[in-house]
């Protein structure tokens, strides 16, 4: 495989493009928008990006915003509120390696230009079945990284790996100014705030670097469908919707209201409202001619953003695919290769999905015990916070009650040992 085509220029497609250019491949990237259109597009999600995903960007020399303090996330604070609105406990820990939050319009528009500067062949054209037919003939391998776009119909749902058949949360994400976050009780700090309201949903907040290079915040509401916070209307005025959330928090969760009481929208339509049905697809897309293409990113594994596994997973898979292409120089790009590569990746990716599913369904008893232990023991808190970006390190202990007990016993023993020293 020497000539590669990629359709879709989000995290998956662009990162794979850079990885392969770096390794000397001939890469053609098809994007439905040019850099200017991306920069001026409607507000996209604002993902928190952790290591190891950030490490790939560093290796590729595309971590252009590393010296911008507004992108840095130093740690995460989780607060759990019970059904009567009382705070049950807090889990808080710094990240061993800072995470990053940035407006994707800034990131991808600059990356698109950089891709051309590095010799990539960029074509601004919307991918269609006809285009895929054409480029499967001209290239050794074709990857489809178009997210939730219409090409997703090419790929069948993987019934065994898909847990849900409808959205588990209704989402509203606001780009806002003037928030006061509670990480380390220091609103000027670069921490994220993650709040679970039992029976209601989640409120997730973080500072981030806006496309105009200002430090602003995102406020993400994850409302349980039919619950008391499920009042968002995507056709309504965004500022009015933000005011509704303030009233809801003031009446029900005063400490959360404190964080957004002075918040105002960063721009008129700077919000995202919708829902996703977490879905895993089969990776092989068969075109009418019989030629095959491979799915990646959200198109392959679509997660609810509750635990930030989407873009982080898309990035890990792009890196994994690039490594496998290098190792497969003499192999044919066919359904067998695509399936084998995807199954290899699933060995770790399944834990990204498992932890997201646990958060969406509500923690099992042993997971509740682990979370409470994390609120009491900084070492367990650190394991949680630093595990978000690489969920597989939290297994088997997060998934299995017996392993959870062993893990907690070991942590307790460590405390005894430390006290004795």
The residue range among 27-35, 62-70, 78-86, 252-260 that interacts with ligand FAD, by the rule CB under 6 A, is 27-35
CA-CA distance, 43 to 86, in Å (whole number)?
Answer: 34
Are 307 and 220 in contact, with CB atoms under 8 Å apart?
no
Token pair in block for residue 271: 């919000």
> Considering only residues 5, 12, 281, 345, which one is a binding residue for ligand FAD as defined by CB under 6 A?
12
Residues 6+ apart with CB under 8 A from 314: 10, 11, 12, 15, 145, 296, 297, 298
Considering the complex, what minimum distance in angstroms separates the CB of residue 295 from ligand FAD?
9
- Asked if residue 234 binds ligand FAD (CB under 6 A), the reply is no
Measured from the CB atom, the residue of 132 and 370 that comes closer to ligand FAD is: 132
The residue range among 8-16, 162-170, 281-289, 403-411 that interacts with ligand FAD, by the rule CB under 6 A, is 8-16
DSSP string, 14-39: HHHHHHHHHTT-EEEEEESS-HHHHH
Considering the complex, what minimum distance in angstroms separates the CB of residue 198 from ligand FAD?
21
> Considering only residues 95, 171, 260, 292, which one is a binding residue for ligand FAD as defined by CB under 6 A?
171
Cross-strand pairs, 174: 219, 271
Measured from the CB atom, the residue of 94 and 278 that comes closer to ligand FAD is: 278
Residues 6+ apart with CB under 8 A from 138: 3, 5
Measured from the CB atom, the residue of 129 and 364 that comes closer to ligand FAD is: 129
Residues numbered 52-91 forming contacts with ligand FAD, rule: CB under 6 A: none
CA-CA distance, 200 to 228, in Å (whole number)?
Answer: 6
CA-CA distance, 283 to 296, in Å (whole number)?
Answer: 7
> Considering only residues 195, 298, 349, 404, which one is a binding residue for ligand FAD as defined by CB under 6 A?
298
Site string for ligand FAD, 299-318 (x = CB under 6 A): ------x--xxxxx-x----
Distances (CA, A) of 375 to 61, 368, 380: 37, 11, 8
Number of separate helices (H) and strands (E) present in the chain: 12, 17
Measured from the CB atom, the residue of 55 and 149 that comes closer to ligand FAD is: 149
- Asked if residue 353 binds ligand FAD (CB under 6 A), the reply is no
> Considering only residues 145, 203, 238, 259, which one is a binding residue for ligand FAD as defined by CB under 6 A?
145
- Asked if residue 387 binds ligand FAD (CB under 6 A), the reply is no
> Considering only residues 6, 151, 229, 292, which one is a binding residue for ligand FAD as defined by CB under 6 A?
151
Measured from the CB atom, the residue of 41 and 252 that comes closer to ligand FAD is: 41
Q: Give residue 87's Cα distance to chain centre.
A: 27
Q: Quick one: which H or E segment has residue 194?
A: strand 191-197
Are 102 and 209 in contact, with CB atoms under 8 Å apart?
yes
Residues numbered 318-347 forming contacts with ligand FAD, rule: CB under 6 A: none
Are 283 and 294 in contact, with CB atoms under 8 Å apart?
yes
The residue range among 223-231, 236-244, 297-305, 363-371 that interacts with ligand FAD, by the rule CB under 6 A, is 297-305
Q: What are phi and psi for residue 120, nearest 5 degrees?
A: -70, 150
Which residues bind to ligand FAD, rule: CB under 6 A? 7-13, 30-33, 45, 47-48, 126-127, 145-147, 149, 151, 171, 173, 220, 272, 297-298, 305, 308-312, 314
């Amino acid at each position: 495989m020497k000539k590669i085509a990629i359709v879709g220029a989000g995290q998956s497609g662009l990162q794979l493009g850079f990885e392969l250019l770096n390794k000397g491949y001939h890469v053609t990237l098809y994007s439905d928008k040019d850099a200017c259109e991306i920069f001026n597009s409607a507000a996209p999600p604002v993902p928190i990006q952790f290591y190891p995903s950030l490490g790939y960007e560093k290796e590729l020399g595309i971590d252009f915003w590393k010296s911008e303090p507004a992108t840095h996330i130093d740690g995460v604070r989780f607060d759990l509120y019970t059904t009567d609105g009382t705070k049950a406990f807090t889990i808080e820990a710094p990240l061993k390696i800072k995470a990053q939050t940035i407006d994707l319009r800034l990131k991808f528009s600059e990356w698109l230009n950089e891709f051309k500067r590095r010799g990539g062949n960029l074509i601004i054209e919307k991918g269609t079945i006809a285009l895929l037919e054409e480029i499967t003939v001209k290239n050794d391998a074709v990857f489809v990284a178009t997210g939730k776009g219409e090409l997703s119909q090419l790929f069948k749902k993987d019934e065994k790996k898909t847990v849900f058949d409808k959205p588990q949360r209704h989402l509203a994400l606001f780009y806002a100014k003037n928030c006061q976050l509670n990480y380390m009780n220091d609103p000027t700090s670069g921490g994220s705030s993650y709040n679970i309201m039992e029976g209601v949903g989640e409120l997730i907040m973080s500072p981030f670097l806006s496309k105009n290079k200002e430090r602003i915040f995102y406020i993400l509401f994850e409302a349980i469908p039919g619950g008391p916070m499920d009042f968002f209307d995507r056709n309504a005025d965004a500022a009015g919707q933000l005011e509704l959330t303030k009233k809801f928090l003031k009446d029900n969760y005063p400490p959360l209201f404190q964080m957004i009481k002075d918040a105002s929208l960063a721009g008129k339509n700077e919000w995202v409202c919708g829902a996703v049905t977490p879905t895993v697809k089969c990776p092989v897309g068969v075109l009418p001619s019989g030629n095959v293409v491979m799915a990646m990113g959200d198109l392959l594994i679509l997660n609810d953003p509750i635990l930030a596994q989407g873009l982080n997973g898309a990035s890990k898979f792009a890196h994994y695919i690039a490594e496998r292409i290098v190792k497969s120089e003499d192999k044919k790009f066919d359904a067998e290769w695509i399936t084998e590569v995807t199954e290899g990746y699933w060995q770790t990716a399944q834990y990204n999905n498992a932890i997201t599913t646990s958060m969406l369904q509500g923690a099992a008893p042993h997971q509740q015990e682990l979370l409470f232990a994390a609120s009491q023991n900084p070492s367990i808190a650190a394991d949680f916070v630093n595990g978000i970006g690489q969920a597989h390190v939290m297994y088997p202990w997060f998934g299995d009650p017996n392993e959870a007990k062993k893990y907690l016993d070991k942590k307790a023993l460590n405390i005894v040992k430390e006290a004795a020293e």
